[in-house]
Amino acid sequence: MDATPMIHSDQGNIFTSIEYQDALRKLGISQSMSRRGNCWDNAVAESFFSTLKQEFYYRDKFASVDEFVKQLRKYIHYYNYDRISTRLGGLTPVEYRNTILKTIIN
């Protein structure tokens, strides 16, 4: 599966600058920005990254970038398939998504 990296940000000066946008284009990264005054789409990402840092990043030392990437992939799999969330009614994110999809399809 081919994936195109995407970065989401607010409309701060750095993120709207031509230099920043040119750098993203050169790297093949798509940019996504919320509209002005809308913080709600960032809330989900901010919450996830806060959890990621607390449960993964701050708890370990990594011998190399390769080791970091390997462990990050394991954590993301754990987060999506094994880690239950009280906000999702005791389901994992994948279980919650599948439950929602079943209600939409049926």
Match 């990594």 to its residue by tokens.
Answer: 62
pLDDT given for residue 16 in this prediction: 85
- Within the chain, which residues score under 70 in pLDDT? 1, 37-41
Taking 3-state DSSP, the helix, strand and coil percentages for the chain, each rounded to the nearest 5, stand at 60, 10, 30
CA atoms within 13 A of residue 22's CA, in its CB half-sphere: 3
pLDDT given for residue 41 in this prediction: 66
At 89, list the tokens.
């009614």
Q: E strands within the chain?
A: 6-9, 30-33
For residue 53, the cross-strand partners are none
pLDDT given for residue 1 in this prediction: 54
pLDDT given for residue 37 in this prediction: 67
pLDDT given for residue 24 in this prediction: 93
